[in-house]
Structures are given as structure tokens and as C-alpha cells.
A and B are shown apart, each in its own frame.
Chain A
């Protein structure tokens, strides 16, 4: 039998000294983390990090905002619902024809939900494109998550200033910072070695890039925007989405709102920053297939700005690539509907109500 061992009997370090060293250990650890937050890096390098993922278009979004001098009058910000369904060139053409002057539209939507990323993109946009008049911001049934790209693309300060109270993502995002900051710092020093660039890249996808066309993901998988989902699958998919939302829609309780603070908090921040720059935020909801009416926190969004709901478009199975996304066959309808809906906000005489510009 092993001789009995009691680690509490023998003190090989004086107790006070052990506590002091333990405290020093903790202080050093925290200091190293803080020091990494201060490491500088190139922001363009940051936006090239997701090149191998489904979120690879984040680089184009940055390039369109920072390097492309073409104005942006209408920006589309949100998730894949708007990315797949709103053709910026089509909407741009129709709005320009209707208004008799060039209107520039950019679809800056990035797949996946997460209002915190929309806030980042909106802020980048209004700070760099003062001509912007309208932001079309996606609204979905429930999206209380942190966008997976947020921790890669946000400034350290943004990550640390995220809502703290019952934010499931706060510490995970903050803990991500030390490695991210070191990695970005090294990549900024040796960009070629990591396949990134500090200077504007020549393989920019261009001003007229249309997010509604089919494309290949970096993994090699084809995303077919002309795909029509068979109706039985579509029905099943839709039922599943409704079930996941709790079957019948109820207004989120106070507790739920507390538990998932991101959507509301970042929507408010986004609207605030837009207002500061005289930009109208219009909420746009594109429904999933057979989505029940008003299956979202409608009152919250209406308090902050106009809300457009394309509920009438949710019944044609031929126009859905999957239950959550329209395919290319719906593009013209969506553009026509949007054109009519946002036209009033682009009138040259009209100034957003909250703006003193």
C-alpha cells in the first residue's frame, strides 16, 4: 500500500509567501492579457481572417466601405436572409430609374445572425460614407446570439464594452482577445507569410458585386441560388423552424430580454450611431416559408424606426432555396417591393426626422 501522504501537513513555503506568490501569479496573468489588448495591428488584416470560412465576404464589406470611393446611398446590413434576397445592382437600377438620379446600393449583409456585427458594419459605414441615407437592417424571428465573426472583426474596446449582464458570450469573446491580438500583430508584421495584405488587394470583387448569385464556398461547396427546395422538405423545414421558435409566438418576457441582451442592446446602439450621422434605419423582415404573421418582437423595432414586413411573399414554394432563404426567382419581387417601400426615404427634400443635418 502506498505510504499515506498529506499535503496539508508540511509547509515547504511560508503560508504568507505562498499567498503573495499566488496573487503575483494572478496579477501577471491579467497583465499579460491586458498587454496583448494594446498590441497594434492593421484593420484590413483583421477583415481578411475569415477568408477560409463561409463568412469570407467580410473582406469585401471592408473593402467596399474603406477602399471603394463609390458612394453608398442605401446599405443593406444583416444576415443571409437579406444577403441572398436583395440584389444590390437590381435595386440600384430600379431606384435610380424611379428617382431619376443615380442611387448607389451596397449589400453589406454577412451570413449568420448576430446584431453585434451589424452594429460594427453600420458604424464603419456611417463613419466612412457620410453620404449614406438609408440602412436596411434585417429583422428575424429571434436572433439573440453573438455573430461568430464579431470576435474576429471587432475592436478590442468593442469586445470589452459588450453588454456584461447575463451575456453568455462576453467572457468567451474577451478570452479570445489575447490570442487574436498576438496573431494579428504578427500577421501585420509578416503579412505575406500568412497570405494577407496590408494594402488594398487587387482581387477585390468590385463595386457591383451581387450577393444573390450562385458561388463556391472556400470549402469548395457550391451554393446554388437557383435551387428550389422540394415542397415536402420545405414544409418540414418550415415546421421545424416554427417548433424551434416555440410553436406559437409570444412576446419575449422581461426575463428573456434580460437573458439575451445582445439583439436589443446592439439594435439600439446601431440606431443611435445611424441617427448621429443622419441615416435612416429601416427594419426589413423577409419571412421564412409559411412563417406565421408577426412572429417577432414587432413593437420593439417599430419604436426605433420604420418596419417593412414582406409577409405577403412567404407562400410560394418555388421561390425558396430553403425554408429560410429566397432563391434567385424571388429577387425581382423583393426588389420591386423594396423600391416602393424605401423610395420616400430617398427623396432629396426629405431629411430624417431625428437629424439636424
Chain B
């Protein structure tokens, strides 16, 4: 089941919310979390029933390991053993189910044999719930969280709003919230707040992302057939896809935040107007923020800190120490982020490009640190940083979307002008509903929305829309500033977002892009 389906909006969501509150407000309140788990399993099972045992098995196994870690907090070796077992087990399951069939398949095909693992379907959401559980085990070992029963843990991992595509939450931020029994007080405001955030997300997905997708998908399909795009079409496809995935994934994240809020739970931010960033490292602090956080806390730091110690012990010079302690882990982390998306060379290229961009960015910051301390950047410089960041990010989206590296190279060729400008002479076709003129219009409109309007959380500023909001609310105000007011006029406008979002489902909405990861 998906958020952008009639059945979810009309049946599943109202039933889940109603059931959750009915149980919470009666003597049966102890059943509210089991009910949430049940609804989450139905939500998952509607798409992939066969992997429910894997999901449940993974949850139970991780909880047992966490129990062993908690029991052995005083015994460092035993604790490390159980932690290592848990991390390796999770990572092993993820790698084997997500990558093994592709790797084995490639070997079989190279040897001219039939791929025996070709029919293995990658379990849905495995990347997301595996990361959540690894972070849980590490946090238990670090003494950051305490176990509060398997029911609460299960409702945290299988929590349907975040199950398929995040935000990747931490037990430390969700566990205590799940333990709070909802009350009448605050119920209506949570429902209303959640509904508005959900509506904005649905609008982003079905009206904006899916509309842009109408032009993007055919272009990438024709490139896959061997066609080469000209300069304008190359850039048009890259820019359009960037907008599509932004509205798609940030729309999904808004919907997850909205649904959780309807249940009284506050999730972490996953997007914060990343396309307005002025550096590539900033974009990664604002794009798929919870994945970035996971990689930073559980991959980058564990690699970077020992390497920094190693460089210090060896007495390396400034640049060598920086290369070892910063550049190498940065590049490696970006590569991991790229490869996390799946077993394809296109994701390796995507990760490598971002790794190069990030290292270049770090290098530039190191070289200009003294100068930048003395003088603030001019508006022109900030504009140029933003433009350069956007170009880099948009370019890296090309291999991300392409079927093969060859396709990506053809589009890069087009963007570099190797296949001509590709200007049209047929203006009637250009301005037809499927013409590139409309694509151009949507690119302009999309970037105007990105640059001028506040993001969903900024609009909902007054109601603490996400965790750590105090930190984010002061960051990067939009050109046009407004916040939602709880007045009839604003509610009438907000319900329009739900109406259009809902109506456009029937146009033929597509799967969320991040469902495949």
C-alpha cells in the first residue's frame, strides 16, 4: 500500500487513526501499539506479503541481541561480541538480499549460465528497517537508549508511516513518544496539523512530481533505446528529474511526518529545501537528512575518528592528516550512500561523483578558511555558490536516474553540447501537452516553488512540525515568508491541497521513487 493511493487515503488512514485513538482513550489502551503493529503489517503485506516473516524475524532477532547487549553492559567483550553479531547479521542480510543476486547474476551471465537467483525479489524497505535496527543496537551498546519491551520496539521498526522509505528514525527519538498514551487534549490539533502536512506532501507527489515525471520518464526511456539528447533536452531532463525526485521524496517525507503527527508522534526532518543550498556539504545536510545522519554517526565518525588518531600518532602534516581523517572517510561515506541505493554501477557513479564533489568542497573550505573569516561572501558569490552546487547536484542525478552508465554518458554528452543544441523547429509540437515547452514551463515553475516559497515545515512553523525544529526554524528563510494560521481561510486553502493531491491520484500516480531502495 502506498500513501498516494485511494485505498490508503479513504480507508486505511482513517481506519488506522480512528482505531488508534479509540483504543488509546479507552481501558483497552494497552492494545494501541499492537494495533499499530497489526496495521503496519497490513500496510506492508498489501505490497509484499511474502517478506512479512523476514520483517518479523529481523525485529525479534534484533530485540534479542539488544537484550544480550543490555545484559552485558558491564562486560565489554561480551557486549562487543553481541553488537558485532547484530551489526554483521543485519548488514549481511541486507547485502545478501539486496546485492547478492545481482552479483551472482553478473557472474553467471559472464560465464554464460542462467542466473539461478534471477527471481529473488528484494524485500521491500529492507534498507530502511535494517539501518534503524543497526542504529538501535549501537545506541543500546553506547547506553543511549533503554529497552522498553518488544512491543514498543516492534512498533518503532514496523511503524507504517516510516516503514517503506523513512525518515530513518532513531529509537532514542521515537521510543519515548510511542510510550506516551494519547489523550483527548491535543488530539484534534494533532489530527489537523498532521492532515495539513499530509495534504501538502500528497500535493507535491501527485500534482508536482508525477506531472514532471510525465516528461522525464519518456526522455530517459528514449535515451535507453540509444537516442542522444541535444544540449537543451539533456539539461531539461536532468533538471526535471531533480525536481521530480525532490517533490517525490520530500512529498513522501511530508506525508510520513503528517501521518505520524495525526497519531501524535513527531518525526525528524528528512528534507529542508536542499536545492537552496550553497554548498554540496550543505545539500547533504538538507537532502535525505536521516540517511545522511545515519551515515555520519554510524559510518563516517567510526571511520574518521580512528583515522584522525592514526594520523596524529604518525605525525603526518596538515594536508596528509586531513586527507586521511576527512577526505577518505568523506569519499567513502558518499560511495556508501550511492551504493546503498542498489546493486548498479549507476549508483556507484552517483556516489563517486558526490564523493569527489564533497572532497573538493572540503578542500576549498580548508584553502579559503582564513580569507572567509575576514570577509563575508558577497551576494554574487553566494549566488555563484548556489548555482555551482545546483549544477553539481543535478549532474549527479543523471546517473542516478539512468538505466545504465552508457545512458548517463549519452545525457552528459548532450549536456556538454556534443550532440548539438537540439532546438525545435516544430513549435506546435513544442507547446503541445507532451511537448518540451511544457517541460520548460514546469522547470521554471518548479524552481520558483523551490526558491521562493517556504517548505512544508516552515509553513507549519507554529506547531513544532519536526524534531529539533528549534534548530532548523532559523535556517534559510524563503524569499516569500508565510506560516499557516489556524483560521477558517487557511483551512479552506489547505483543504484544496488535499483535494488536488487526492484528485490527481486518479490521473495515474506512480510509485514513490524511494520505494525501490
Contact = CB atoms under 8 A, between A and B. Distances in A.
A17 B180 CA distance: 24
The residue in A19, A21, A24 that gathers the most chain B C-beta atoms within 10 A of its C-beta is A21
B111 interface: no
Among the interface residues A17, A22, A25, A33, which one has the most CB atoms of the partner chain B within 10 A? A25
A225 to B, nearest CB: 30
B488 interface: yes
A8 B185 contact: yes
A303 interface: no
Given A21-B486, A178-B502, A7 B492 contact: no
A10 B467 contact: no
Given A7-B186, A22-B191, A28 B433 contact: no
A329 B456 CA distance: 63
A9 B189 CA distance: 11
A182 B504 CA distance: 10
Contacts, number: 117
Interface in A1-24: 1-2, 4-13, 15, 17-19, 21-22, 24
A36 interface: yes
Given A2-B468, A5-B467, A24 B491 contact: yes
A26 B502 CA distance: 13
A321 B431 CA distance: 43
Interface string A167-191: 0000110011011101100000000
Nearest to B434: A195
Contacts of A9: 185-186
A317 to B, nearest CB: 32
B182 A8 contact: yes
Interface string A264-278: 000000000000000
Contacts of B503: 33, 36, 178-179, 182
Contacts of B183: 8
Contact of A193 (B7, B265, B432, B498): B432
Interface centre among A8, A13, A36 (most CB of B within 10 A): A8
Secondary structure type dominating chain B contacts = helix
B195 A11 contact: no
A175 B264 contact: no
A22 B195 contact: yes
Given A2-B173, A21-B192, A175-B502, A13 B467 contact: no
B20 to A, nearest CB: 13
B488 A24 contact: yes
A11 to B, nearest CB: 6
B187 interface: yes
Given A17-B486, A28-B492, A8 B190 contact: yes
Interface string B482-517: 000010100110111011001111110000000000
A255 interface: no
Given A21-B491, A32-B496, A7 B264 contact: yes
B361 to A, nearest CB: 29
A216 interface: no
A313 B491 CA distance: 64
Contacts of A7: 186, 189-190, 261, 264-266, 464
B433 A32 contact: no
Nearest to A190: B433
A29 interface: yes
B120 interface: no
A204 to B, nearest CB: 23
Nearest to B486: A13
Interface string B1-12: 000001100110
A18 B180 contact: no
Nearest to A21: B491
Given A7-B266, A28-B492, A32-B495, A171 B486 contact: no
Nearest to B180: A6
Assign chain B's interface to a size class: 35 or more
Nearest to A151: B506
B495 A178 contact: no
B309 interface: no
Nearest to A10: B186
Interface residues of A, number: 37
B506 A21 contact: no
B48 interface: no
Nearest to B170: A2
B462 interface: yes
A249 interface: no
Interface in A175-227: 175-176, 178-180, 182-183, 193-194
A24 B188 contact: no
A193 B507 contact: no
B188 A193 contact: no
Contacts of B188: 13, 15, 18-19, 22
B115 interface: no
A182 B503 CA distance: 9
B454 to A, nearest CB: 19
Contacts of A17: 486
A180 B506 contact: yes
Contacts of B30: none
B177 interface: yes
A28 B170 CA distance: 37
A175 B6 contact: yes
Contacts of B196: 25
Contacts of A6: 177, 180
Contacts of B187: 8
B433 A25 contact: no
Given A7-B261, A19-B188, A178 B506 contact: yes
Contact of B507 (A10, A15, A179): A179
Contacts of B191: 18, 22
Contact of B145 (A1, A5, A193): A1
A11 B264 CA distance: 12
A4 B467 CA distance: 10
Contacts of B502: 29, 175, 178
B176 interface: yes
15 contacts: A2-B172, A6-B177, A6-B180, A7-B264, A7-B265, A7-B464, A12-B462, A21-B491, A25-B192, A25-B491, A25-B494, A28-B492, A29-B502, A32-B499, A171-B10
Given A7-B261, A24-B488, 8 more contacts: A1-B144, A7-B266, A19-B188, A25-B494, A32-B499, A178-B503, A179-B503, A179-B506
